[in-house]
Amino acid sequence: MVSAQNVGGSSPRVVLVVTDGMRRDFISTENTPVIANLKSTGTWFASHRSVFPSCTRVVSSSVATGCLPAKHGLAGNSVCLIEDGKLTLHDAGKPQFVDDKRRLTGRVLNIPTMAERLASMNGAIIFNNVSPGAAYVHDPDGHGHVYHRAASYGPGRVPINGPNALDIVQGIEGDTAATERFVDEVVLQRRPTLAVLWLSEPDTTQHITPLGSPRHLEMLRQTDRNVARVLAAVSQCREEGEDILVMVASDHGHETTVDYVDIAAEMVDAGLKRSLDSDDVVVAPNGTAALIYVDPGQVSDIEAIRNFLESQPWCGQIFDPQNFRDVGIPAGGNLAFGVAMAWDDGTNEYGVPGRSYAVLSANGQKKPAGCGQHGGLGRYEQSPYLIAEGRGFKAGETVTSETSAVEIAPTVLHFLGRAVADLDGRALQELN
Ligand SMILES: [Zn+2]
């Protein structure tokens, strides 16, 4: 079924593992001993950041392309697309989102992904257990292989069915099943140039459990064991002489949610939006951030919306098209405001710092307040971690200058001798 290639170290390759939502300050010898130990054999990026909004589908696009949303073009976990001249809210996590985005805007992402760039050199295989949309933005145009529980695709987006599909559940049980298959089939047998394992934990548990609670800490330990499985397989391949770069990272951290805000309902009450379902003003919820779209044909007083937002206790920072570029938000599509919800360094019941307001999701579904959330610019949701181990990276080194998710692709491409100009990120080998 599969053939081993490049055995004997003939071509360098990269293995990237992402533990979704893991905060940098939760990396410890107690809870994540394997990841903590990797700091001594690899380089630790002590000021690593997410992007804005710090949502998985957005960060996934930034990891895949090496660019901020302003360049790759996916603004949020939920976004408005213009359909028949009207603002229409889309959930970028849905399996059909990539097709909708392509149909309505011409492209899913504006920048080639690593899967596309590496297609001619033994390609990319992505195993992903978060939302379907987050999985498919790694390779929306079908240059490599993407495995997800909703559906898996090979080159040309040909569906992978039957026993070769990835029949797992979201959460630790599915993560572990995905890891075991990834290790045996991808790292040890198929040996693509880029192998990505994106685990759903600890993010899945953090959304429904207080940060620092026993259940949360147990999830960190189990996720660490999945990282250990991958590292053991990499060690085995390196012993055979292979030149492998390992990057282990998270995409964002979490903050404790203090309350959920129904921004759309508050705007209706304030007379700034016709009704909850109206398309004059549409709020796209993004966890602890929101994207607010305004139809200029229906709304003349955008300043009234800004004044309303500025006066709300839940509003942290407001961005508009004049300063979108500063924070990496894509302009156009009638996007009028990016809002990062207010946050502080207060602690939760387990003494874990970082609290933020969150935006009620479009379906009105509240995740429990007191649990984790992300999307905004809070200190801890903007503190994911990154470790790189392999050629080009010094063992035990700490890099303190700021890095972010956009640095992963340039680093991978640099390692493979395929450096690309004009990406937002830099190759991290140059900082080391
Ligand atoms: Zn995530």
Cα(51) to centroid(ligand 1), Å: 11
Cα(80) to centroid(ligand 1), Å: 20
User: Could you count the other beta carbons within 10 Å of the beta carbon of residue 350?
Assistant: 13
pLDDT given for residue 366 in this prediction:
72
Q: Are 139 and 124 in contact (CB under 8 A)?
A: yes
Packing angle between helix 214-239 and helix 33-41, nearest 10 degrees? 40
- Cα–Cα separations (whole angstroms), residue 356 to 292, 333, 340, 406: 19, 28, 10, 25
SS3 (DSSP) at 31: coil
Render pLDDT for 307-345 as a digit per residue (tens, 0 to 9): 999 999 999 999 999 999 999 999 999 999 999 999 999
Cα(192) to centroid(ligand 1), Å: 24
pLDDT given for residue 190 in this prediction:
97
How much of the chain exceeds pLDDT 70, in percent?
98
Sequential DSSP letters for 248-286: EE-S---EEEEEEE-HHHHHHHTTSSS-TT-SSEEEEEE
pLDDT given for residue 171 in this prediction:
97
Q: Are 17 and 249 in contact (CB under 8 A)?
A: yes
Residue 70: pLDDT band (50, 70, 90) is: very high
Domains annotated for the chain, with CATH where assigned, are: 13-74+109-253+382-430 (3.40.720.10), 256-372 (3.30.1360)
Cα(295) to centroid(ligand 1), Å: 30
Cα(250) to centroid(ligand 1), Å: 7
Alpha carbons 381 and 344: distance in angstroms, whole number: 12
Cα(401) to centroid(ligand 1), Å: 23
pLDDT given for residue 1 in this prediction:
35
pLDDT given for residue 431 in this prediction:
85
Q: Are 316 and 341 in contact (CB under 8 A)?
A: yes
Render pLDDT for 338-386 as a digit per residue (tens, 0 to 9): 999 999 999 999 999 999 999 998 877 777 789 999 999 999 999 999 9
Cα(271) to centroid(ligand 1), Å: 35
Query: Which residue do the tokens 């984790």 mark?
Result: 372
Q: Are 226 and 175 in contact (CB under 8 A)?
A: yes
Packing angle between helix 56-65 and helix 408-415, nearest 10 degrees? 30
pLDDT given for residue 430 in this prediction:
87
Tell me the β-bridge partners of 364: none
DSSP conformation class of 68: -
